[in-house]
DNA sequence: TTGTAGGCGTTATCAG
DNA sequence: CTGATAACGCCTACAA
């Protein structure tokens, strides 16, 4: 025999607008209007007051699902990131959340691990939930997710990456400026043999970094050695390790490495140890992103600070613009970045 | 004059179940059943096949909003964290996401910064969106959020914290075991004057840490000095700094500090420098949580590894159980933790 | 096995 | 200014 302690915790059932209307002695459509900021102007202040008072008393909570069904708007924004455990993405997300909630939207968050299957699956769940807009931190150069979102009429904004897909606003940090800052810094320290580790090429970030590095090096007037640029096969510390091994096996070792991602830089440090190299006395190293906590790394990383929070915040702004006017021009917003000099870079030995 | 390139991108409009039904030449209720895993058993396989084929061809995507309105289930789980930028929470979230999506649920994520107003606001948006369940990483000892969620009949699971609220399943790491591990470790290194920094007391974690530390110290048989336990006023590096200053100003300085949070430990390290103390040669230090990247800190932190991902994953399992049977017993799931010895602890000087 | 019809809670479009 | 009514897309008793 199952004995259930009959606590009978009062579970107040949800109150609908109908109840509010009844208690306020108005028709439910009147109540609906009274509760709406703009519609309420068309209603006698007296009634508006009365309805709102009742609503407050009953703790009426409009059912967003029902409203969404009717209006065909879910007031929901989907955000897709590769991996929220990479500490730069929480910063973006906080920006997204703040701007969303300030505008009455709620954010759905999902991780794809850069896996196309996951991306598709997630997009489908997002679509099923009728998201009003999508923010991608995963955009590829040719991105099928964007493509199908567009077919469904869902506005998309890409953060941290550009895409060849047309009609997609982008909110990014200024990669060229960042890489240039790093190269200039190393050059000023006397380095003339600088190598770089760029991100994978399926995302815009990779190619942009390669291009930026080439140009920056040319501008400061040093010659690019053969094999001075390695492309990581992944966004991980391990990929950084692999890349570093390649660079350090070059016949002429670089005196400095620009790792276009702090994770790559961490991988480099591991490999430096393997090779018996001390950073920065034997070899200089920079990261990119100013990932939280890496200011306390050993050694603290010289890196580029990117305003991730603002990128997320602005992405939502652009998305709202886009939702209001889908045919408007697709903006590209580029945020300035900042050099943060710490102790992983030093005068050339 | 604004010239708009008339690309006329085909915006395929959403296909409803009615269209699927029409094309499959069945009534829409038949189509609905054919698409449902269990209902479809009551329908001729032939028809089921036909309907599903059409659905696939049309890329039919059920409208979760409409379904939710009808079934009064949103298939959505809300998760509230203090701050997703604290790298332990992304790990929990990934567990939550994985288990949710594996069960057909989607996760809503929001940050409260431990601000009660935010918590209430967020809960309201969650309720408006008809979440089916709530996972709190913010639970207080007496938690009004839990209270109002319960009134609305929303099951709640608390992660990483326990609460005095009844009827709330909890999924946590074993705090006592963790603190004991740390104290034993330090004791084995010869430390007899050990201090601790515990978290704020409005959350269960703080008091639990205090209690655990007292007991652990007693068990190894060393006497607790006066003022050996400081309570941080916050969950930040700065709070750790403030606490460390207090501890180091004691007439007899501790030879080791157990910081019950890696962030506190980072604050301690800052203050050690201020006091001209070297860690670990002058003073030993432990953190707690094994926060990502802090294995590369200077010095790398001895700490306690908590299975955050599993905690998140299991929290959803518990939540699903709860949703299925709200009157069942509220379980407490405690995960084992692990000592990770790194280089912030050493033999007593 | 399949069709009918009602309704989930809202908002929008009509009238009055 | 307010009330009546339909509709959003789906699910599910109930009927056939």
Per-residue pLDDT reduced to its tens digit, B99-128: 999 999 999 999 999 999 999 999 999 999
Contact across the interface for B291 and A293, Cβ inside 8 Å: yes
Q: How far is A224 from chain B (nearest CA, A)?
A: 32
Distance CA A306, CA A160 (A): 10
Contact across the interface for B64 and A101, Cβ inside 8 Å: no
pLDDT tens string B197-235: 999 999 999 999 999 999 999 999 999 998 999 999 999
C-alpha radius of gyration, chain A, whole number: 26
pLDDT at A2 > cutoff 70: no
Q: Name the pLDDT band for A6 (thresholds 50, 70, 90).
A: very low
Asked whether the beta carbons of A48 and A34 are under 8 A apart, the reply is yes
Distance between the alpha carbon (CA) of A30 and the C1' atom of C15, Å: 15
Instruction: Sort strands B133-136 and B76-81 into parallel, antiparallel or unpaired.
Output: parallel
Three-state DSSP at B96 gives helix
**Residue lying closest to nucleotide C1, CA to C1':** B43
Instruction: Sort strands B106-111 and A332-335 into parallel, antiparallel or unpaired.
Output: unpaired
Whether the CB of A103 is below 8 Å from some CB of chain B: the reply is no
**Which of A55, A82, A106, A268 is the best substitution to test chain B (most B C-beta atoms within 10 A)?**
A106
The HSE-up count of residue B13 (CA atoms within 13 Å, CB side) is 4
pLDDT at B168 > cutoff 90: yes
By mean pLDDT, which of B8-22, B25-39, B111-125, B221-235 is the weakest? B8-22
Rounded to an integer, the average pLDDT of B252-281 is 97
- Asked if A101 CB < 7 A from strand C, the reply is no
Distance CA A115, CA B204 (A): 38
If you write DSSP's letter for every residue of A204-215 in order, what string do you get?
THHHHHHHHHHH
Q: Token pair 């459509």 is at which residue?
A: A29
Distance CA B310, CA A96 (A): 27
pLDDT of residue B11: 62
How open is the CA angle B177-B180-B184, to the nearest 5 degrees? 140
Establish, for the pair of chains A and B, how many residue pairs have beta carbons separated by less than 8 Å: 153
Asked whether the beta carbons of A269 and A279 are under 8 A apart, the reply is yes
Q: Name the pLDDT band for A318 (thresholds 50, 70, 90).
A: very high
Sequence-separated (6 or more) residues with CB below 8 Å from residue B120: B144, B145, B148
pLDDT tens string B300-320: 999 999 999 999 999 999 999
Q: Name the pLDDT band for A9 (thresholds 50, 70, 90).
A: very low
pLDDT of residue A74: 94
pLDDT of residue A4: 30
End-to-end CA separation in angstroms for chain A: 81
Which among B13, B97, B121 is the nearest to A110, CB-wise?
B97
Distance CA B251, CA B225 (A): 11
Q: Token pair 């703080």 is at which residue?
A: B206
- Asked if B63 CB < 7 A from strand D, the reply is yes
Contact across the interface for B90 and A85, Cβ inside 8 Å: yes
**Residue lying closest to nucleotide D2, CA to C1':** A30
pLDDT of residue A12: 65
Q: How far is B258 from chain A (nearest CA, A)?
A: 19
Whether the CB of B313 is below 8 Å from some CB of chain A: the reply is no
pLDDT at B3 > cutoff 60: no
* A241/A325: higher pLDDT: A241
**Closest-approach nucleotide to residue A33, Cα vs C1':** C11
Q: Nucleotides on strand C with an atom closer than 7 A to protein CB?
A: 1-13
**What are all long-range contacts of B323-328, with beta carbons under 8 Å and residues at least 24 apart?**
B323/B132, B323/B133, B323/B155, B326/B153, B326/B155, B327/A4
Contact across the interface for B298 and A293, Cβ inside 8 Å: no
- Asked if A30 CB < 7 A from strand D, the reply is yes
pLDDT at B10 > cutoff 70: no
Distance between the alpha carbon (CA) of A329 and the C1' atom of C13, Å: 33
Q: Nucleotides on strand D with an atom closer than 7 A to protein CB?
A: 1-5, 7-13
Whether the CB of A66 is below 8 Å from some CB of chain B: the reply is yes
- Asked if B70 CB < 7 A from strand C, the reply is yes
Take residue A202 and report the two structure tokens written for it.
Answer: 């399926």
Plot region of B118 (φ>0 → left; ψ -120 to 50 → alpha; else → beta):
alpha
For residue A34, report the phi and psi dihedrals to the nearest 5 degrees.
-60, -30
How open is the CA angle A112-A116-A120, to the nearest 5 degrees? 80
* A3/B203: higher pLDDT: B203
pLDDT tens string A126-174: 999 999 999 999 999 999 999 999 989 999 999 999 999 888 999 999 9
pTM of this structure: 0.94
Q: Token pair 């050695």 is at which residue?
A: A225
pLDDT tens string A280-295: 999 999 999 999 999 9
- Asked if A44 CB < 7 A from strand D, the reply is yes
Q: How far is A86 from chain B (nearest CA, A)?
A: 8
- Asked if B69 CB < 7 A from strand D, the reply is yes
- B74: closest chain A residue by CA: A65
Q: Name the pLDDT band for A3 (thresholds 50, 70, 90).
A: very low
Rounded to an integer, the average pLDDT of A114-120 is 96
Strand B229-231: give its sheet, edge to edge. Answer: B229-231, B194-198, B256-259, B284-286
């Amino acid at each position: 025999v199952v004995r259930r302690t009959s606590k009978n915790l009062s579970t107040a059932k949800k109150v609908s607008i109908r109840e509010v209307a009844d208690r306020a002695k108005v028709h439910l459509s009147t109540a609906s209007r009274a509760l709406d900021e703009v519609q309420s102007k068309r209603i006698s202040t007296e009634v508006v007051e009365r309805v709102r008072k009742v609503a407050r008393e009953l703790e009426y909570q409009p059912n967003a699902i029902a409203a969404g069904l009717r209006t065909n708007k879910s007031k929901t924004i989907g955000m897709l990131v590769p991996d929220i455990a990479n500490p730069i993405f929480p910063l973006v997300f906080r920006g997204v959340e703040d701007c969303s909630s300030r505008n009455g939207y709620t954010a759905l968050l999902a991780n794809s691990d850069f896996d196309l299957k996951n991306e598709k699956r997630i997009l489908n769940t997002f679509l099923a939930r009728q998201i009003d807009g999508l923010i991608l931190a995963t955009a590829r150069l040719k991105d099928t997710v964007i493509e199908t979102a567009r077919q469904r009429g869902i506005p998309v904004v890409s953060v941290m990456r550009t895409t060849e897909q047309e009609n997609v606003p982008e909110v990014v940090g200024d990669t060229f400026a960042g890489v240039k800052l790093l190269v200039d810094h190393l050059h000023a320290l006397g380095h003339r043999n600088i190598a770089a580790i760029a991100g994978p090429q399926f995302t815009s970030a990779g190619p942009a970094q390669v291009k930026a590095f080439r140009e920056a090096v040319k501008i400061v007037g040093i010659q690019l050695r053969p094999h001075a640029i390695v492309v990581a096969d992944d966004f991980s510390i391990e990929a950084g390790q692999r890349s570093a091994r390649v660079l350090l096996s070059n016949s002429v070792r670089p005196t400095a490495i620009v790792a276009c991602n702090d994770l790559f830089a961490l991988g480099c440090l591991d490999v430096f140890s393997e090779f018996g190299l001390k950073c920065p006395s034997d070899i200089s190293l920079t990261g990119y992103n100013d990932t939280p906590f890496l200011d306390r790394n050993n050694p603290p990383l010289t890196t580029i600070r990117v305003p991730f929070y603002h990128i997320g915040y602005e992405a939502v702004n652009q998305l709202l613009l886009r939702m209001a006017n889908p045919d408007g021009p697709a903006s590209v917003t580029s945020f300035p970045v900042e050099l943060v000099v710490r102790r992983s870079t030093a005068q050339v030995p």
